[in-house]
Structure 1
Amino acid sequence: MFKKSQIESLNEAFKEASPSEIIKKALELNKLAVVTTNFRPYEAAILHAVSKVEPTIPVVWCDTGYNTPQTYRHAEQVIKDLSLNIFLYVPKQTTAHRDVVMGIPGIDDPKHALFTEQVKLEPFRRAMEEHQPKVWFTNLRQGQTAFRNSIDIFSLSKDGVLKVSPFYHWSDEELDLYLEQHKLPNEFKYFDPTKALENRECGLHA
């Protein structure tokens, strides 16, 4: 179990470190790790950085079933180009079935919580229970939401997993350059059915 004082020390020591240095340190602490992705914009950066340090790391993709055609094509390209060790998790109910009985409820609809549970939270819990990671790599960044502004490069999940965001302090412009340098694709036609606003959390991280 990681302690709060240890997390604070890590953030102080690695605030100027490169993503690869941060990733290597996290894996020194515990090699039982996963990286999660939804193939939203700039996800290729975290997938590239982590897989370069640990090529066989499990890559957990919780697909809501509502991604755009562009996102699915982007995902296939990144998975192939980086030879990712992908683990796909999908809701237990098909999108077609849910569209008939529920559709995509608005955030003020009482059904929205159930919708989010079905398409995102339950598949994610299933993934984490199956892999039992001690380290969780993610592409959270400062400035995305109020909650994400409150964490840092290293933080703890609700379940005590060490959450590591190697690009936490990076801007879009810096990530654009990283993608260009490493010849990585990007895709902006992305849709998250559990979020009405870009700065809203869905419950996965907060």
Structure 2
Amino acid sequence: MSLNLDQINKELEAKSPKEIIAWAVSFAQNPVITTNFRPYEVAILKAVTDVKKDIKVIWCDTGYNTVQTYKHAEEITKKLNLNIHLYTPKQTAAHRNVVLGVPSIEDPKHAVFTEQVKLEPFSRAMQEHQPDVWFTNLRKGQTAFRNSIDVVSQSKDGVIKVSPFYNWSDEELDAYLKEKELPNEFTYFDPTKVESNRECGLHI
């Protein structure tokens, strides 16, 4: 689909997340939302499922999440009745820890690790579901790349990416979660990023 992203983002500039989601759902043939249950993910999960309850929720579980993240994922999945589609690496974490370990970001093998635990499962999920609209919780200020996009962008594969909370601050999200009586969980670690301002390659 060919889009005038500048025009669309200008038109959506003053819209609420709910209005942005409704706009995308109105033309989407096969929308999905991706999640890793990191902090504030519950906001996008709540907002999107309020508009489209049965939307497919793709969770690519690296196998290296914290205990708290797994408990949070279980709680949110039940609370919001999420239509979870789980994708995991083809090799178990236990096996990988023996043959590869968890390389530091300076180690050339880190790229292999990232491909195995995140990029391949994600690519497999997208190939199987073939979405035309992809809801994410990307926000301005997270990384240099994310500062360069907007509420609506387009992936290299042509999928329309919609980030309804793109311009929201942590404080605004805190207020949203309080209003919706939703829990948040900050004990989170992504071994493919390590540093919060790094991209793992999923969104570029």
**Superposition TM-score, scaled by structure 2 size:** 0.99
Q: 1:76 corresponds to which residue?
A: 74
How far residue 200 of structure 1 moved from its aligned partner, in angstroms, is: 0.3
CA RMSD, 1 decimal:
0.7
Q: Within the alignment, does 1:53 sit opposite 2:44 as a pair?
A: no
Identity %: 67
Letter in structure 2 aligned against 1:69? V
Alignment length (residue pairs): 204
How far residue 16 of structure 1 moved from its aligned partner, in angstroms, is: 1.2
Q: Within the alignment, does 1:187 sit opposite 2:192 as a pair?
A: no
How far residue 31 of structure 1 moved from its aligned partner, in angstroms, is: 3.1
Q: 1:89 corresponds to which residue?
A: 87
Supply the distance in 2 between the matched residues of 1:173 and 1:59 (Cα, whole angstroms). 25
SS at match of 1:139: coil
How far residue 17 of structure 1 moved from its aligned partner, in angstroms, is: 0.5
Q: 1:103 corresponds to which residue?
A: 101
SS at match of 2:90: coil
Picking from 113, 116, 128, the partner of 1:115 is: 113
Supply the distance in 1 between the matched residues of 2:192 and 2:115 (Cα, whole angstroms). 9
Letter in structure 2 aligned against 1:71? T
Q: 1:178 corresponds to which residue?
A: 176
Supply the distance in 1 between the matched residues of 2:78 and 2:61 (Cα, whole angstroms). 17
CA contact (8 A) 1:44 1:186 kept: yes
Gaps of 5+ in 2: none
How far residue 196 of structure 1 moved from its aligned partner, in angstroms, is: 2.6
Picking from 33, 36, 43, the partner of 1:35 is: 33
CA contact (8 A) 1:2 1:162 kept: no
How far residue 204 of structure 1 moved from its aligned partner, in angstroms, is: 0.2
- Residue by residue over 1:50-80, the C-alpha shift from the partner in whole angstroms, topping out at 9 and shown as x without a partner, is 0000000000000000000000000000000
Q: 1:204 corresponds to which residue?
A: 202
